[in-house]
Amino acid sequence: MIFFRSQPGLVAYVTCGDPDLATSRAVILSAIDAGADVIELGVPFSDPVADGPVIQRASERALKNGTRLEDVLTLAEGVRNSRPLTNLIIFSYLNPLIRYGLPKFVKRAKEVGVDGVLAVDLIVEEAGEYRLLMEKSHLAPIFLAAPTSTDARLKKVAAASKGFIYAVARTGVTGAKTDVRGDAQQLVKRIKKSSKLPVAVGFGIANAEDFQAVGKYADAAVIGTAIVKIIEEQSAKAASPEAVAAAVGKFIRCVKKTT
């Protein structure tokens, strides 16, 4: 069951294994304690076509360090044990899941306490087996909805999704600046006509101003690149895992305007 404890909710993305798994764990726990409602555990991938340069670099570093899907699942298990009430989502491209084996992956994800999965390049029309496996394990399949999606396709996304629907604020890759009051707002209105699920807006949400603007029409905002950039900058200074985590926690508190 995925829930947002506050309105608007904050979904925080972290590329697991960047710069190492110990830092990822510290960052994730800090993000949770600072007010993040959902953590997206990013599985590093060699060809992250939907991601901008910041997250691409993070994936490259994590892969160079040897981080694989099983490491991300083990990390999820540790976070679940430390913060039992946190919503945990595996964020991955389809290729690592297929290499691992879809039935094995879904079984393992359930075992470690994951709430849902967002396979970013898996379209609804080709997700039959995946959805059946997810349903049997009571895991939430989360799908993307884009401004270019037709109303008919939005209905398919709404029918297939559980937990929440991820509304892509604009076409393109992650990290680029987004007009959060334009196409994204219209997209959320269109989704709401077909679904009662919460809608989280992502791609280009970078600061407190963006977060508050999205919160006026959506249930949650997804912040990824801004967090990964902080990790990159702190790591370049050879900061300790605790220092990197503290910087991310400070940022999230600022975004949510909490103390």
CATH number at residue 164: 3.20.20.70
56 — phi, psi (to 5°)?
-60, -45
pLDDT of residue 49: 81
Residue 156 near residue 124, CB atoms below 8 Å: yes
Residue type, 138: H
Q: Residue 3 domain-assigned?
A: no
Joined tokens for residue 44:
């590093």
20 in catalytic set: no
Which listed residue (40, 71, 219, 232) is catalytic? 40
Does any domain span residue 109? yes
80 part of a folded domain: yes
Q: Are 26 and 244 in contact (CB under 8 A)?
A: yes
Residue 4: inside a domain: no
Task: Identify the pLDDT of residue 180.
Answer: 54
Predicted pLDDT at 259: 39
The reported pLDDT for the residue numbered 177 is 52
Which residues contact residue 191 at a Cβ distance below 8 angstroms, ignoring those fewer than 6 apart? 145, 154, 157, 158, 165, 167, 199
Has 70 been annotated as catalytic? no
Q: Could you give the angle at which helices 241-256 and 225-236 cross, rounded to 10 degrees?
A: 150
Catalytic pick from 20, 37, 47, 51? 51
Determine the pLDDT at residue 52: 87
Range of the domain at 105: 9-256
pTM: 0.93
Q: What are the average pLDDT values for consecutive 10-residue runs of the chain, which has 259 residues? A: 85 98 98 97 91 93 97 98 96 97 98 97 95 97 94 96 91 50 86 95 92 95 96 94 97 83
Domain count, the chain: 1
